[in-house]
Every structure is written in structure tokens, then in C-alpha cells.
Chains A and B, each alone.
Chain A
Amino acid sequence: MPYGYNGKILRVDLSSQAIFTEEPDESFYRTYLGGKGFGSYFLLRELKHGIDPLSSENKLIFADSVITGAPAPGINRYSVIGKSPLSSGLGESDAGGWWGPQLKFAGFDAIIIEGRSENPVYIFIHDEQVQFKDARRVWGLNTGDTQKIIRGELGSDRIQIATIGPAGENQVRYACITNGLIHVNGRSGLGAVMGSKNLKAIAVRGSRKINVKKPETVTQIAKWFAKNFKMNPIANRLHEHGTHATIDRLNSMGLLPTGNYGAGEFDLSSKINSKALREAYSVQSAGCFACSMRCKKIIVGNDYGAPEYETVAAFGSNLKVSNMDVIVKANQLCNQYGLDTISTGVSIAFAMECVERGILSEKDLEGLNLKFGNDDSILEIIERIALRKGIGTILAEGVRRASEIIGKNSAEFAMHVKGQETPLHDPRGKFGLALGFAISETGADHNTYGPHDNSYELLDSPCLKASHPLGILEPMDALDSSAKKVRFYLYEENLSNLWQTLGVCNFVPAPRGALPLQKFVELVEAITGYETSLWELLKAGERTTVLSRSFNAMEGFGRKEDSLPNRFFEPLEAGLLKGKKIEKADLEEALTTYYRMRGYDDNGKPTKAKLQELDIEWVAERIAL
């Protein structure tokens, strides 16, 4: 019996309602670990080149890792992986909560979903038993009603449910999957893939315990974290405010996206900050399985949580909206309909700029008043996107496809990379972020490296100190675009991909969190019984990076896909960084350096030698090497 994991992966064919259990060997588990590592492995091996992400040929993988579910903080996340309907490349999104641990307790480490059900179904997994259940009763219902009815049918409120809402059913290309109504696999449009398979939800409940090698060490580390995390100012701020505190800080630095990323400063930011939310609502803390940090914020009386930074900026400053009630309601509607708040907000900002430039008319909008600063129509447009009504039908395609449909040079301000809408961070003040947005295999992503560039500018920065074990020793300017920055980015990217492979929340371990990297390695050893090291784990993070890149290479992605929206090559209009822009030549030079450091060719494709070094030579055939 292995330590930390079950040794079983469930394969479900929705077309024939058949189930299979696979038992990969120990070497598979230790090499790929879980999460995005498992997902990119299976997609790359099994998916046919060029399939439609919304066809029955796509696969959807829900993956825990070798450590998920052990009673320690920040290791409760699971990834969902599939071919993304936004980018047509690798799609991945991870979420915390209780669903991931429950899947392990139910006896499986991952689920591979194949095919398409004839009628709406949901799957119930209970202690290794798998049942297909008729979901026609809940098809069309929002996430909250779906969870309530399924729990009622199955007879327990303790069953964890990952579900889509109407947006996923309607295959909105940025539909999400939610568990516990507030924990969301938001990005990559994987809720649309689930909808395309007629799969409404996966309910899980298990009674097994994770077999841990050294339980006393796991307990000791969990207790150490609970006692000490508040000493770390970043962790303490997350505990007290969640991510919302970032609004004021980014605004002061001229990096708060405002008016579809035109400016970096919003003059009404004090009306949408964390203090404003707390003055208007009763806010409490919530959290995830076995985590003492409790950084999630909820509003008393609202089942769908409080808006976090990305959501507040997406529906606030980036739309020039200062009405906190509308932002709270927008967050609730997105979570009910099952929409990614980042892509939804950025799509609305795109529509507003179309209106401002006279590209969309009153007739096109069918009564909506979509102007920057006007909050009257925001809730209505969210509904029209989710239900694909009127202009919502076009915006439901994401800004890349919407700009292709609308034309008239609207692509110039369609804010996306590889078809995925940009998160609410402006790379014109952080070159590492520019690299991350451009390079990320899943499209624009702010989490490809943990703490952003401004956290590494001072010699005694806590993030810099916590990155010393990675070999990052010197401070660097946020706008530095030299090879030194590329090296920094590459090392941190390996670490971020390790987190997405092991299902780790990047708020918990260093450099961003309070748990030192050495203690994290000790935790992995205590759970799995592996005699391991930061070296081996970072190599696993690197392996996931290269597997993800290889999937995209198989789909024909190359250097031209590693770019930024044109707006970021233009000067910021206002704020502390007014006039700053990304120089195209700097980005191109940094990309070339990055490819060479990574072991890619000049088109960004992994070389055979790199695949051999990472012990994944089998990938060569898939990417025609």
C-alpha cells in the first residue's frame, strides 16, 4: 500500500456509461506526482491532434496528487485539465475547498472523463463505488440549487459537489466549475467542456483515511504553521483581508487596471477597497480543508462568497464602476451561473470600449447601457452572457472570438493571450508578469510565478530571502528585462508548476507564504515516505512545464502565440507609471533567452535533449521530433 495516495485512477466513459480503474506503478506517481502533471501527461498521450475542445473527443481530468488530503495546510487543491475552448491549447485550473480531499477519501487519485452522455448526468463516487445519476432534474439550475438538490437526493450535506451552472451547459467558453459554491476552477473554460459532455456535476464522499508515512511529523508541521503564519506579514494580511487588500496597493503603484487597462489608477478606488466592503457588509473568514490560514472571505447571508481582488478589479476599476453592491452581486451571479469572473469582467470591458469607440451601437445592445462607469446594465449583461442571449451570445465566445466577429479593429483592445482574457494585473510595471502572460501555456495567467516583481526589489524583501533556496539571491528592478530576470522567472515558474502539480496553494509555502521551502520538502517526505529533495520536486515542476508546452506544440503553437495584447505595447494613460509600456524588442529578446534556458528551440518547442533530461522522451513522437 503506497503512502499518500490510493494508487487508483478512475476512467469514466460517459458515452457508454462504462467505468474502469487503472493502477499505475510507483514510478508513474513519483514522476508525474498529480494535478497538472497527471493532466498534461494523459492529454498529451491520449488526445488526438486538432480535436474540437467542445466535442466528445476531448477529455476532462480531475486530478489530486500524492499529497492531497493529508491533514496539513495548503495541500487540498485539485486541478481540472482538458483542451481549452478558449485557447485550443492546454486548459488547466485548480481549486481548493474540500472536494479534492474527498476524492482521495473515496478511493481515487484522479478521474479521467471521456465521451459524451446522451442525457444530462451527474456522477456519484462513494468509497470506490461509482454511479451515474440522472441530472435532468438539475439541468438548467444554478450552482446553489444544484448542490442543494443533489445533496438532498444523496442524503447528506457532507457530500462535496463540483458542478457547472447554466453557463457551462450553454458552453460559454469561459464557464467555470465550482465546489462548495465558493471554490472555483475558474480559468480555461473547463466548465464549458463539462457542459459539452452533458455532465452536470461530480459528487464525492469517502470514509478512507490517507495512509501517511510519518503522521506525527505532518501534525507537527501543521501545528507549526498554525502557530507561526501570522508572523509573516503577507500571510497575516491574507488571513485578515483575503486578496482584496491588493486594490489600494496596486492603485498607489499605478498598476490597477482601469477602463479596459487604459490607465493604472482609478480615482474612486477607495469606494471598492476592502474597507468599503467591510463598511457595507458583514464579512467573515472561511477556508479550505485542514488549513489554518482561512484566507477566503464570505459575506454573512450570501452563499456565494465575497468578491476577491480579481473580481473587484474586473467589475470595479476596469469598468470604472465604484458601486460595491453591484460588484458583490456580479460576483454572486457569476458563481451562480458558473462564469469565470476574470473573463466575464474583461469581456464586458471589451464591450464597453466597443461602445465608447462607436463600434457597437444602441441597437446592437438591445437596451443595455454599456458605458465605462455606468453600473446599470452590468448584472443584465452577465445574465445574457450566461444564457447566450443577444449581445451576450458574442461575448460568451471570449474577447478573441468576439473581436473577430465584431471586426472594425476591435482586436486592438481585445485583452487576451492565446484566447484567454488577461487577469487584472498590468505587466507594464512588472516585466516578469509580461513574460508570464506571454509564455503561459494556458493563456494569460498571473500565477505562473508566485510573488510578482515588486516583491523582489529590496535587498531585505521577505520574498527574496525566502527564494534563496532556489538560488535567487539578488534584488532586481520590477522593470528589469535582462537575462537575470528571465532566470528569476524560469525558476519561479518551475515552483509554480510544482504547486499546480502537487495541488498546493501558493499562499502557504514560501516564497509567498509562511511555510519555508525546506519544511515543505519535509512535509512531502512525511506524507509519501519518499526520500526526496527540493531538486527532485523542482524537476517535477519543470517536467509539468515542458509537458504543457509539448501539448501546445502538438497543437501547432509556437513563438507567435507567446505574445501580449497590443495595449501593453502602448503607454499607460494615467497613474504613477503613466507613459510606461512594454518594448516589443525587449519581450522578443527575453523570450529567446527563456527558450534557450528552457531547452526549447527558437520557436519555443522543447528539444529532444530536454525531453531526455526530464525522462519524458516518449513525448518526442507526439511533437514530431
Chain B
Amino acid sequence: MKVKVKFYADLRDKYAPKCEDGILELRLKDHSQIEDVFDQLEIDNREIGFILLNEKKVQKSTSLSEGDFIQIFSFVTGG
């Protein structure tokens, strides 16, 4: 199945530097979870604040379906 993954702020430079608007299109095995996206792209867990799947907050164990849109945001602490 295919899903789209969008990265924000400095994650964009690191994980999708050549993609317009930071969006990557990924091909995954059926029954994949967001965890598999992290594995495939070698994303450092410790840099991630939260994840939206089709605009709803989810954990990495959430299962994916064809055409899903995943948004990945950086970790942010107080200034």
C-alpha cells in the first residue's frame, strides 16, 4: 500500500530534504503500522513530539491503510 508522510520544521531538512512541502510517498507492506514508517526512514524516536494520522493524534502502534496521510512533528520543550 501507499501512504504519504509529511515532516515539519527541521525534520523536513533531515528526512525529506528533496521533497516539495516535506511530503514523501512511501510504499509499505499491507497491515503495516506507523512504527514501520519509522523503521523504513530510520527516524530517531527521540526527536519526535507527536504524530497525526489523517489529522488525528496517534501512537506509533497504529495500523495504516491505503492512502493514509501521516504528519510528523518535532519534539518541543518550553523556551
The reply on A424 being an interface residue by CB < 8 A is yes
CB neighbours (8 Å) of B74 from chain A are: 249, 252
For window 212-263 of A, CB contacts with B under 8 Å fall at 232-234, 243, 245-246, 248-253, 255
**A side interface size, CB within 8 A:** 40
Is residue B31 contacting chain A, with contact meaning CB distance below 8 A?
no
Please determine whether A451 and B44 come into contact, CB atoms closer than 8 angstroms. no
Taken together as a complex, chains A and B put the C-alpha atoms of A596 and B9 apart, in Å, by 40
Cross-interface CB contact of B59 among A425, A451, A458, cutoff 8 Å: A458
> Which residues does chain A contribute within 8 Å of B8, judged by CB atoms?
249, 252-253
Contact of B77 with A463 in the complex, beta carbons under 8 Å? yes
Of B44, B59, B79, the residue contacting A243 (CB under 8 A) is: B79
Task: State in angstroms the CA–CA spacing of A433 and B60 once bound together.
Answer: 25
Interface size in chain B (residues, C-beta < 8 A):
22
Q: Is residue A282 contacting chain B, with contact meaning CB distance below 8 A?
A: no
Tell me the bound Cα distance from A475 to B60 in angstroms: 12
Question: Which of B10, B46, B48 lies in contact with A245, CB distance below 8 A?
Answer: B10
Residues of chain B lying within 8 A (CB to CB) of residue A37: none
Hey, which chain B residues are within 8 Å of A433, CB to CB?
A: 78
Q: How many Å from the CB of B74 to the closest CB on chain A?
A: 5
CA A308 – CA B60 in complex, angstroms? 33
Which listed residue (A243, A248, A309, A458) contacts B51, Cβ 8 A?
Answer: A458
Instruction: Report chain A residues within 8 Å CB of B69.
Output: none
Residue B79 contacts which of A310, A458, A460, A461 (CB distance < 8 angstroms)?
A: A310
Closest CB-CB distance, B14 to chain A, in whole Å? 11
A248 with B9: CB separation less than 8 A: yes
Task: Give the residue of B10, B48, B76 whose beta carbon is less than 8 angstroms from that of A253.
Answer: B76
Q: Taking A248-B9, A477-B57 as contacts, is the C-beta distance between A458 and B76 under 8 angstroms?
A: no
Q: Which of A234, A454, A459 contacts B60 (CB 8 A)?
A: A459
- With A and B bound together, what is the CA distance between A232 and B47 in angstroms? 10
Give the complex CA separation of A309 and B61 in angstroms: 34
Is the CB of B54 closer than 8 A to any CB of chain A? no
Is A455 close to B, CB under 8 A? yes
* B77–A458 CB distance below 8 A: no
Cβ-defined contact, A425 with B78, below 8 A: yes
> Told that A253-B73, A459-B59, A462-B46 touch, could you supply 18 new A-B pairs with CB distance under 8 A?
A243-B79, A245-B10, A246-B77, A249-B49, A251-B9, A253-B49, A253-B76, A423-B79, A446-B79, A455-B77, A457-B57, A458-B45, A458-B51, A458-B60, A459-B60, A461-B49, A475-B59, A477-B57
Can you spell out 5 A-B residue pairs with CB atoms less than 8 angstroms apart? A232-B46, A252-B74, A433-B78, A458-B51, A458-B59
Q: Which residues of B contact A (CB under 8 A)?
A: 8-10, 44-51, 57, 59-61, 73-79
